[in-house]
Structure 1
Amino acid sequence: MRGANALSLNAGMSLLQSYGHDIGGFEGLQPSPELLLRWVQLGCHSPRFAINCYKTGNDSFAGDVIEPWMYPEVVQHIRKAILRRYEMIPYLYGLMLQSTRTAIPPQRWTGWGYEADPEVWSSKVLKDGETQYWLGDTLLIGGVYEPDVSEAKVYLPKRGHRDPGFLNTNAPYQYLSAGAWHTISSPWKASIPVLARIGGAVPVGKDHQVVAPGDKVNEANLPADGKRGVEIFPPPEDISDGETWYTNTWLEDDGISPPPAKIASFTLSYSASATEVSVKYEKETGAFEPPWVAGGLAVILPVGDNRRVVSGDGAVIEARRQNESGRKRFHIVAGDQRA
């Protein structure tokens, strides 16, 4: 797993940007239940997710394969990780679209954008690129690479003295300062370290396969891609100034059109005070309008954030129930749905 991380970073810089692990190892012994789950958790947070192998037997011609359900005791945890992978496809797909236009790799070295932080140059661990990396510019991904280990050390880079820091997306969901090493609780049946940059955003969709908007035939009778939310990560209440705005843009297309792709662009900006989060939402859908647009957009706060979301541009915003993870949701009503 460590080596595959470094290979992925080098591949991305060489324009091989849809790159990832052969989860469980292409050759060699079968992974243990713990190793398979850890590898799936890591692979779900990479540009390419594939359980791909050729485990040869004694005759060197046939062998065992790796399957997500091969260990019943961890199936539910593997399923949870893969469902999250599906949910993040709008984020991952947007990063791939961005890479085709700018050559910026979806998976990036820890020091990407943080070149002024001396730690990213002085730490051999960080320079090797084997233990942590950026997935886009919002999520910093760590890993657990040894058996029977339930925590991991992760360095959170710092852009300057006003860097607002990070939030842990898993329990205990704490605020973490930038420019420091942190020990992150990571029980193997829960998650690897996934840290969100304060000010970032992750567009999310349904947690299962959907049909591409441009598909003419739907032989599997898949549901439409009719849902979109944006997970945002405002600063905690005690360090929110109500003045700083954070802006995030993501891209979508119909999934099948030949170049030049018909691309839609969406931008969500937000600012936070101690009592509320103000949002602004803009869309450019002249070339292509995804099917979910007509239903509006959900804004999803971090676990434990009980502030209300209000409009900064006159849009109608409705409070909705918490999602399954205990995150408060607010719905930006589409223009043609407003009273």
Structure 2
Amino acid sequence: MRATNAALYDAWNSDPLYKQLPFLLIIPNPNFQEPVREGVPFPYVQGVLTPSAGAGMWDLGCEHNDPLGDFKKFTQTEGPLDMIISWGATGQQVKDRWRDILESQGGATTLVPRQWMGYLGSTMGQAESDSPPAQELLKLFPQKCEEHSIPCSAMHLSSGYTVDKVDGFRKVFTWNEDRYPDFEGLMKFYHERGMKVSANIKPYVSHRHPHYPKLKAADALFRDPVTGEHSSTQVWSGLWNENWFGSWVDMTSIEGRNWWADGVRDLVRRGIDSTWNDDNEFTLADHSHLAKWELPANFTNPGAPGPKPVGLVGTIVNCELVGQVSKETLEETQPGRRVFVLSRSANVGSLQYISASWSGDNWTSWKTFRGNISQGLNSGVSFLHTYGDDIGGFGGPLPSPELFLRWVQSAAYRSRFCIHSFKPTKADRSGGAEVNSPWMYPEILPLIRQAIERRYEMLPFLYALQWEAATLGKAPMTWMGWDQFEKDPKCYEEEVVDGQDYWLGTGKVLVAGCYYPGVTSRQVYLPSSKASGQVDEGYYDLNTGVFHEAGTTVVTPTPFENIAVFVRAGTVIPIGKPCVTVTSPTGLPSTTADGTRILLKSEGGVVELDDFRGVEIFPPPPSSSSASSSWSWEWNEDDGESHMEGLQVSRIRVEYSVVGEEVDVQASWVSKEFIPLWNSLWVVLPKGDERKVRGGEEKVWRGRKGFVVEI
């Protein structure tokens, strides 16, 4: 358990990686139950949380003692050791207890602004370009999105904007004006098209950085414990020039935090919307380096201020402080807005500050594609609820058309969707086919567009799951055997555990991607909740409309047009328009932090009003053995932009039941503070279902038949 820069890692075997989130769950396998012990409700789920920021190591079951048998061991060599042991009937119950602990210490998770749930663009190679200037290439990106009818909500600006035009070194919080002669104009160009921008920043300064003397004089850098001088290390960019050394900024120092806050303020002044905290693992070969330990009031300080060894509490505390300063500075400079902080690294304390994370600099391969999904499911257990990977792979060869398509189709159903890479080809620098980009392979562009549009269509559902994550601690993506399915013995069989299929909303949408080349049909297991004493609803194949009973293994076609997706009977999926939308033509939703007004489609722009809401519902067919008579779900709606303090929220409830040859649908407001631009729902039944919705007006929208009901 140690955060480190693990660029181009092996998704299955590399250890450690970027995060330090030591949550361990032990879920009993119902195929190998131990005997019931007197006075102990067994089997039960056990949880171990080791929240210390010191580096540690878990040994998961390789130790053996006779007669006690196999056991797990945790070792920590520095800093205070904390261990919290919890138990419950399900993994979610244990996670609920962890969440209570985290909330008591500041917070477990944040609610992501709605716009950051869409397609997030990024092209590292273009941000590096000198000829033509990077600004020209980046200006082409929104234009190509419009040309190819690809909705896009944001751009990640890679660190190329900080590269010094003389020596070629990255210098955070500085600007290459040759590459970006009119940066504020570029930001306005993006904002008018409804795209926000997140800037890459790193808490490391080279010896040639113009701010280095100031930081050194302020003693805002780590010190070498032997020489007493300020520490000198290399990071990834140093591999390209042996003369490039520098120092990590000591965020435990007041001067270090003030410097970071000043840099973020300047980003916002230039039009940046959010921070992309990168290279923030603070990798040091020796944790005896000295830090000042002038910690903020909400931190537990190990005694009087330093200097003290950074290992006393852990280098990862600096990552947490980067997150705190980023969030607080964004809130200071963007009053009233719910801010967005992306962070590559994280510890337990970071969760109250950061909005999202990702799997780091991954490698392009089918193996990585599969491994990143498993990493995402584990991250959800660890409260990183908005998590994804660089679709198509960051490093390595170009993805084949098939790999890229299958990656996009799967990621469209995950909590974060970002296409990002660094593959410095000639095309990447010329303004031609950027890689990785939705239009990189014209032969599959219509299918890529279809997958991205489906993500936007499901945005109300994805955002509703974010509300559940923020308020209830429920991860949007979970393992097939999570919660009410933990006692299904089939979920523990090797082909299911290693299959990378997952829930989007536990018990709602089962996503079964194509994770190997040449796969045109999938065998999928449909989990059963019967062993947990719950009603065992069946499943609809979303693509074919075929209904299947729970607890069965089915085979379904997966042509290039789609992956396998199954929806559990009784589910409600709120849907919206398949494009970028704003929830109001005025106020925060339609104005960016720099004062730019987003241009609506009616005004010559590409953004539309969020004035449509539908629900996909899945009543079991008359032939099913369902014991339920009605089904319902509630979710929240808000403007997607305002800060949580004073946020106006409405809650809507949809309930439906089968009445003869009709489906009765009732929609009502549970509460109504936020006033949306719609007051009716377009209800659509499963594919091929010819039943009517009682009292609904039959209409066709985007080629699909549905029924409009008033709320």
Per the TM superposition, whether the score is higher than 0.5 is: yes
Q: Which residue of structure 2 aligns with residue 35 of structure 1?
A: 403
Q: Which residue of structure 2 aligns with residue 337 of structure 1?
A: none
Q: Which amino acid aligns with 1:116?
A: K
Q: Which residue of structure 1 aligns with residue 418 of structure 2?
A: 50
User: Where is the helix percentage greater, Structure 1 or Structure 2?
Assistant: 2
Secondary structure in structure 1 of the residue aligned to 2:418: coil
Secondary structure in structure 2 of the residue aligned to 1:147: coil
In the alignment, structure 1 residue 183 sits paired with structure 2 residue 555: yes
Please give the alpha-carbon distance, in whole angstroms, between the structure 1 residues aligned to 2:437 and 2:621. Answer: 41
Q: Which residue of structure 2 aligns with residue 81 of structure 1?
A: 451
Q: Which amino acid aligns with 1:319?
A: E
Please give the alpha-carbon distance, in whole angstroms, between the structure 1 residues aligned to 2:636 and 2:495. Answer: 33
Q: Which residue of structure 2 aligns with residue 219 of structure 1?
A: 598
User: Structure 1's 241 and 170: CA in aligned 2 closer, same or farther, altered over 3 A?
Assistant: closer
**1:122-144 deviations in Å (ceiling 9; x for gaps):** x124334x520000132100011
Judge conservation of contact 1:150–1:186 (CA < 8 Å) in 2. yes
Please give the alpha-carbon distance, in whole angstroms, between the structure 1 residues aligned to 2:510 and 2:709. Answer: 28
RMSD after superposition: 2.3
Q: How does 1:1-339 map to 2 (within 5 A)?
A: 1-56=369-424, 65-112=435-482, 113-121=484-492, 123-128=493-498, 130-137=499-506, 138-160=508-530, 162-171=535-544, 173-188=545-560, 190-213=561-584, 214-217=588-591, 218-221=597-600, 222-239=607-624, 244-260=629-645, 261-293=647-679, 296-310=680-694, 317-324=695-702, 326=704, 328-334=705-711
Judge conservation of contact 2:540–2:569 (CA < 8 Å) in 1. yes
Please give the alpha-carbon distance, in whole angstroms, between the structure 1 residues aligned to 2:382 and 2:376. Answer: 10
Spell out structure 1 runs of 4+ moving beyond 3 A: 61-64, 125-128, 240-243, 322-326
Q: Which residue of structure 1 aligns with residue 324 of structure 2?
A: none
Secondary structure in structure 2 of the residue aligned to 1:291: coil
Please give the alpha-carbon distance, in whole angstroms, between the structure 2 residues aligned to 1:57 and 1:318. Answer: 54
Deviation at 1:56, TM superposition (A): 4.5
Judge conservation of contact 1:132–1:141 (CA < 8 Å) in 2. yes
Q: Which amino acid aligns with 1:133?
A: Y
Higher Rg: 2
Please give the alpha-carbon distance, in whole angstroms, between the structure 1 residues aligned to 2:589 and 2:514. Answer: 39
Same amino acid, percent of matched pairs: 37
Deviation at 1:238, TM superposition (A): 2.1
Please give the alpha-carbon distance, in whole angstroms, between the structure 2 residues aligned to 1:85 and 1:228. Answer: 15
Judge conservation of contact 1:110–1:133 (CA < 8 Å) in 2. yes
Secondary structure in structure 1 of the residue aligned to 2:403: helix
User: Structure 1's 210 and 192: CA in aligned 2 closer, same or farther, altered over 3 A?
Assistant: same
Flag structure 2 segments of 5+ consecutive residues without an equivalent.
Answer: 1-368, 592-596, 601-606
Please give the alpha-carbon distance, in whole angstroms, between the structure 1 residues aligned to 2:556 and 2:676. Answer: 37
TM-score with structure 1 setting the length: 0.88
Flag structure 1 segments of 5+ consecutive residues without an equivalent.
Answer: 311-316, 335-339
TM-score with structure 2 setting the length: 0.43
Secondary structure in structure 2 of the residue aligned to 1:90: helix
Q: Which amino acid aligns with 2:471?
A: R
User: Structure 1's 64 and 225: CA in aligned 2 closer, same or farther, altered over 3 A?
Assistant: closer
Deviation at 1:57, TM superposition (A): 5.8
